[in-house]
Amino acid sequence: MADSFDVIVIGGGPAGYPAAIRAAQNKLTVACIDAWKNRDGTTAFGGTCLNAGCIPSKALLESSELYHRLREEFSVHGIKASGVEVDVATMQKRKAGIVKKSTDGINALFKAAGVTPLQGRGRLLPGKRVEFTAHDGSRRELTAKHVVLASGSEPTPLRSAAFDGTSILDSWDALELAAAPKRLGVIGAGVIGLELGSVWRRLGSEVVILEALEDFLAIADQQLAKEALRQFKRQGLDIRLGAKVTAAAVAGGAVNVSYTDGKAVQSVTVDKLVVAIGRRPYTDKLLAAGTGVELDERGFIKVDEHCRTGAEAIWAVGDCVRGPMLAHKGKEEGVMVADLIAGRYGEVNYRAIPSVIYTAPEIAWVGETEEQVKASGRAYKVGVFPFLASGRARAMESTAGFAKLIAAVDDDEILGVHIVGPLAGELIAEAVLAMEYSASSEDLQRTMHAHPTLSEAVHEAALAADKRAIDSLNRSP
């Protein structure tokens, strides 16, 4: 095998592997080094997303939602089921199969594209050299014209509730549980905490979520967050805001969690505790001295808007650099860098990154929240369309939530779209495309949408921004 490549990518997650594939498509010689090891000792490309994040969580969300709907919602359709049981072992087996298919798929893609896969650790040395240590401990020095760092992130630990893998769990542990705990505690009401809490709530756990912030989903549009909180509470998720965890003690197989709620010290006892307070960049042993690559005060690799580090021909993409920690953001950065290396055009539009929370109802948005637009001082208009007024949503028995569009008053530019409701994660794609093409709300208003579809809600929200919605009363729900 060659020791010299046009491009070496360190990290084979959703930021690294697309960089490697696009570089190969650009006729460059490429190696992708990845250190991922599963708990059974097997290796796999795909990083956090495919092995322990996006894909396994969505597999379990789907299974648990079907179980929940069969028990709670099918009877209204005239479908009666008795003796419904959940078999978590089969659910977990299905999930593992989906993960395996997905990660095997990367090997096949690498093979077809001509990417050299190297499983083990990569360490950047000065002078565009990379030390590769295979899992068997053997070492080689490789050289490249360009190196792309895509080492990802890891769960942020909480000193007052240290992970132990048995009672106090990280998100990966929480995806591997063999049975629904009777009482599940989650620290952090962010994307990951809400998704994991939803899975186990639907499978029968009593779930309490402790969130340090006073505002629910502070990063989201607050009208959207308010509606989502209302729905989650109705589903039985016990979400306690302004709850700062001070200690977690494991005794007799249970976890006693202490927290302050601003007034007094409170406590709650659970069988398993998931700590989901966020993720931090992972750059352990990635950089030798003298590479010229710098980290910021939070540990992210410093890059410019094109993902160039301070060192010549060294790039960094994905969760290990600034910006939202999302698989699709990392993917687009990886593709951009591989195109720039090949002398092609490459750009990421950081203003049009969709965010999705795969709860039921789903939550999705792109662009600015109403709070951000208000703070900017720009005059704006808002259109809201409730799913209660959507024929398709009614047919689906899924009428909770709404679509909301914010546009500028001066030039009608779409500034943000926020959806809470059925398949919001799919519906948001139209808004992303509209914003990518700098569409106005009138552009959306004049675009025909098939009837009856959920996408009509986005169309009607655009119309509502000018008080011209046809199927609703042109007022906020």
Question: Quick one: 152 or 422, whose CB is closer to ligand FAD?
Answer: 152
DSSP 177: -
Residue type, 71: R
Give least dist CB 293 to ligand FAD, A.
13
Least distance in Å: CB of 381 to ligand FAD? 30
- To the nearest whole angstrom, how small is the minimum distance from the Cβ of residue 21 to ligand FAD? 13
- Smallest Cα–Cα separation from 147: which of 293, 14, 281? 293
Using the minimum distance from each CB to ligand FAD, give the nearer residue, 16 or 383: 16
Q: How far apart are CA 104 and CA 106, in angstroms?
A: 5
CB of 189 to ligand FAD, least distance (A): 14
**Cis, bond preceding 452 (omega within 30 deg of 0):** yes
Of 86, 401, 356, 84, nearest in space to 234 by CA: 401
Per-position DSSP letters for 3-35, written without gaps between them: SEEEEEEE--STTHHHHHHHHHHTT--EEEEE-
Binding site for ligand FAD (CB under 6 A): 10-16, 33-36, 47-49, 53-54, 57, 121-122, 150-153, 171, 192, 282, 286, 318-319, 325-328, 330, 358
- 427 phi and psi angles, rounded to 5 deg: -65, -30
Nearest to ligand FAD of 175, 239 (CB atom)? 175
- From residue 23, alpha-carbon distances to 17, 38, 340, 355 in Å are 10, 27, 10, 27
CB nearer to ligand FAD: pick between 20 and 393: 20
Q: Is the dihedral of CA 447, 453, 454, 456 positive or negative?
A: positive
Query: Would you say 129 or 459 has its CB closer to ligand FAD?
Result: 129
How many residues are there in the chain? 477
Rounded to 10 degrees, the C-alpha dihedral 457/460/465/468 comes to -160
Residue owning tokens 């010549």: 312
Is there a catalytic annotation at residue 306?
Answer: no
CB of 148 to ligand FAD, least distance (A): 11
3-state SS, residue 443 = helix
Report the nearest approach of ligand FAD to the CB of residue 362 (Å). Answer: 11
Compare residues 36 and 385 and give the one whose CB is closer to ligand FAD: 36
Residue 358 token pair? 């795969």
What is the rounded CA–CA span in Å between residue 25 and residue 435? Answer: 28
Annotated catalytic residue: which of 77, 306, 449, 451?
A: 451
- Active-site residue numbers? 451
